[in-house]
Every structure is written in C-alpha cells, then in structure tokens.
Structure 1
Amino acid sequence: MRRSIDEVRAFYGEPAGRLVRRLVARRLDDAWGQAMGCDVLGIGYATPWLDAFSGARRVVAAMPKGQGAEAWPETGRNATVMVEDDRLPFRAGMFDRVLMVHALEEADAPGQLLTEAVRALSPAGRIILVAAARGGFWGRAENTPFGHGRPFSRGQLEQLVREVDLEPVAWSQTLYVPPWRPALGMADAVERIGQMVAPGAAGIVLLEAARRTYARTPRGLGARAALGELLKPLPSPQPVPGGARALPSSRRHRTRLSADK
C-alpha cells in the first residue's frame, strides 16, 4: 500500500524532506540540466524536482492512484494526472525524459510499472530511477517515505531495467547522513565522507538508463577524462548496433549522473 499524498507532501515540507530535495536535485542537474527542448514525465512523487526542468517543452506529473494526486504546478495550468500503475494514459514514445521517484518501492508490480514507463519513452530517451537504497539508514526509517515498500540495490535496479530492454548508462548514490534531525545540519560533510568510506550507507540510489539501441558508453582515455573522476558510467554488455549514439553530452545537455558536485 502506498503512502498517501498528504504524508509524502508533508515530509517534503520538513527539514529532512528539504534536504532530500536538495541532494537529489544536484544529481538530476548533473544528468539532465534544464532538459532543454524535452518532453518530461515524472512518475510517482516527482513534483519536488520537476520545476527545475525550466527548459523543457512540456512537463507532466503522473501520480499513482493508490497514492493520490495533487495539483501541480501551484500556479498556472495544471499538469498532473492520476494513473494506474499498469496503464499509463500516454501514447508510445511521447516523452524524452522520464523521472521515477517514490514509484517502484510501493508498486504491486514494479516491472509492469517500468514497462509502461518505457513504452512512453522516446527511442532516444533517458529514464532515471530514484529509489530507497537497500542497506541505508533511510530504508528503515518508517517516518519517511523511504521506509516503506521495498528498497533496491544498484544491482537490483540494473536487473530491473534490463528486463524491460533498457541498458544502464550511469548511476549515483546520495543521502549518507542518518535520518536523525540533529544530524541533518552535517549532511554536506557526511556526503563527502560517506561516499569514500561507507558507500553502503547511502539512503538513495539513482540509476539512469536508455534503450539498448541508443545506450553508449564512452571509450578510451579521452572519454574518461571528459566524464570526470566522480562520474560513474556503466559498461554496456554488448556493442551498439550501427554505431548508434546517445544524446550528446554538453554543458547544456548533460546525460550522466554525478556522485557529487
């Protein structure tokens, strides 16, 4: 059973929720920036981050029926729709970017929900899954949305996306600080230390994936230098047919997740 929209919304108005918003926003900015010219779909409870895609052509929030929906954005034309996990009301290939937050953990059939999300993804599109990390403190904190449903490891997310014919292209973790209010003020310092000495303590894991035809991992020393030391590209298990390539990586259109800024 999913947490109600009132519970999730209340959490993101608290200090812990505001911290989660900030840390996840860093990763999304590294990956997609403002999503210039893209059609963006948020599934689950993604609205705390959708406003950042100011360069997008269209942004839609799809909220599961079991959770409930809220009007978004707060001003202007409403762009929220309530959906069934196994049937999204969008035509195939409609969105260039799909962001899933608080979507998989409490879904009755995560694979079916992801299958529907992939159906709505354009051939060269990208999808980011944001989920509670297995083994982290937050996955056991029942006073947060991350302490309900099933947490995921990076390997489990990789397996899940491959089952729907996606290829993982990048990953990241964040939220190393414990979900205790006195510790929240030390979050930035704990982030820097945690990723070096206790990677298993992260509260959130993020995985970016693309359709296998378009998935491409940079090769060679020059490509690794361009990615930077803190990025975590994932290797593709098979060559890319016909030399197909992913959307270009640039300052305006970034396509990789960063471990930190």
Structure 2
Amino acid sequence: MPVDIVDLRSFYRSPLGDIARRFIVRVVRSRFSNCTGYSILGVGYATPYLGVFRDEAVRVLAFMPSEQGVVNWPSSGHSASALVEVTRMPLPDSSIDRVIVVHALEISEHPHDLLSEIWRILTPGGRVIVVTPNRSGLWARLDSTPFGHGQPYSLGQLRDLMREALFSPTQWAEALYVPPFRSRTLLHSAAAVEAIGAYFSLPGAGVLIVEATKQLYRPVGVRKAARQVAPQFQPALAPEAIGASCSSERDRFEP
C-alpha cells in the first residue's frame, strides 16, 4: 500500500528522516556528481534528493504517483512537481538524462511497467538510480518509516528486475546502517554507525541503491518465448486409391 504524501513529508521533516536523507543523498550525489546541462527527473517521493541538482541541471522535475498524492515543489518559484500515472508519464521518448527513483518501485503494483516507462523517456546512454528497501534490513521490517511499506527487494531480485527492463546495472551501494530508532543518543551517533557499516560492508543495511544505464539493444534471453512442440497427429482415415479399393471390394464378394 502506498504511503500517503502527508506521512512522507512528516518523516523527512523529522530528525530520523533528515538522517536518512543525508546518508542516501551522499551516495546519489557521488554517482551523479556532475549534471551540468542535464535534465533530471525524480519519480516517487524524490524531492528530498533533488535539491542538490537545481543549480547545475537544465531542469529538475518531480513526478509523484497518483495513488500517493503530490506536494508543491520547490517551495519558492515555479512548481516543478506533478501528479502522474508513473507507468504513462507525460514526456516524449528520450527526453530525460538522469532519473532518481525513491519511494516508488516498492509500492508499485507493476514495477516492470514502471521501469519500462523510465527506459522509454531516458536518452540513449541515460542513467537511473533506484533506491529500494533492503529485504534483509531492519528498516523494511518496521512500518514506522516509509521504508517499511511496500515490497522490499533483495540484491538478486532487484538485479533481475532491472535486466528484464533492459537496464544494465553498473554500480551497487547500500545505506542506512543505523537502526530506524528515534533515540536521541542513537541519532547523535548515527554518522559513526553509518561510517562503520559502510567501511566494513556490514549486512542489514536499510536500503539498496543501484545505478543502471539504458541498453540500446535487446539481449538474447531477456524474454523467453514459450515454445511448445506441436503434437504429431495421425490421420483419422488413411486414403486409398479408388481402383485398389474397388478391386478389394470385388475380390471379397466374388465366390
């Protein structure tokens, strides 16, 4: 079930939400380090992660799922957010250079269609970053944060889903090693916990972050057609020559 837009906005205004934003945007920014002259699209509730690109990108848009709700973004100036059907976005083919997907894939009823639509609007060689809850992480097991809703993914599940949608995963990362608790002591030590978890690649991170590029070809085996061997039917009646049939009938009745 999608998280309501009010709950998403409240979470990111809280101390725990600010910590989640800082740790995830650090990874996102390291992958999309220079977006000068690019068009960037955020899908889901990606506005907490889009602000760092506004000063360098040509345009930054935020598309939010119709079942989730929408908020005006940015808070000043012309609005760049819209309520859309994310599997049918109002954009032409090959019109976006970079896409950031947050709080979208795990709540989508049709994740493959969502990724296929992102593939359509990406420019040739365009790149996408997808952030999803980690199935083995603590954040996915508690519904006190938005990362505890929807369908969490394992590394293998996310990789297969991306490849089926004709994306080539190029970089993998994890974030949110800090537990999703609102203890003041834990929040103060969150940076140290995150640094230790990332340095040792500890299991149980809260989110998986994958970067992928748009493939321009369809690899063999992406879609396996179901081929069935046609059964070998035997004719119900075996044809015979007319002369032979008459001769046999005559022979049978002659004394």
Which band: TM-score by shorter chain? 0.7 to 0.9
2:202 corresponding residue in structure 1: 199
User: Deviation at 1:34?
Assistant: 4.6
- Please, what is the CA RMSD of the aligned residues? 1.6
Partner of 2:157: 156
Gaps of 5+ in 2: 218-255
Task: Name the TM-score, length of structure 1 as normaliser.
Answer: 0.79
User: Secondary structure of 2:210's match?
Assistant: strand
SS of equivalent residue, structure 2 residue 21: helix
What displacement does 1:213 show?
Answer: 4.5
Distance in 2, matches of 1:198 and 1:118, equals 30
Sequence identity (%): 43
Cα displacement string for residues 47-75 of structure 1 (whole angstroms, at most 9, x for unaligned residues): 00111002100111000001000111100
Partner residue, 1:169 = 170
Aligned to 1:225: none
Q: Specify the alignment match of 1:211 in structure 2.
A: 214
Per the normalisation by structure 2, the TM-score is 0.81
Q: Which amino acid aligns with 1:31?
A: R
Following superposition, which runs of at least 4 residues in structure 1 exceed 6 angstroms of deviation?
none
Shift of 1:135: 0.8
Rounded Cα–Cα distance in structure 1 between residues aligned with 2:13 and 2:136: 25
1:146-204 Cα shifts (integer Å, max 9, x gaps):
00111112221111110011100101101001111222221121122223556321001
Secondary structure of the equivalent of 1:181? Answer: coil
Contact residue 34 and residue 52 of structure 1 kept, 8 A: no
C-alpha contact (below 8 Å) 2:64/2:86 kept by paired residues: no
Structure possessing the higher radius of gyration over alpha carbons: 2
Q: Which residue of 2 aligns with 1:30?
A: 30
What's the secondary structure of 1:195's corresponding residue?
Answer: helix
Q: Return 5+ residue gaps in structure 1 as ranges.
A: 215-261
Tell me how many residue pairs correspond in the alignment. Answer: 215
Aligned 8 A contact 1:105 1:149 in 2: yes
Is contact 1:154–1:207 with CA below 8 Å preserved after alignment? no
Cα deviation code 1:69-114 (max 9, x no counterpart): 0111100011111111321111111100000000111111111111
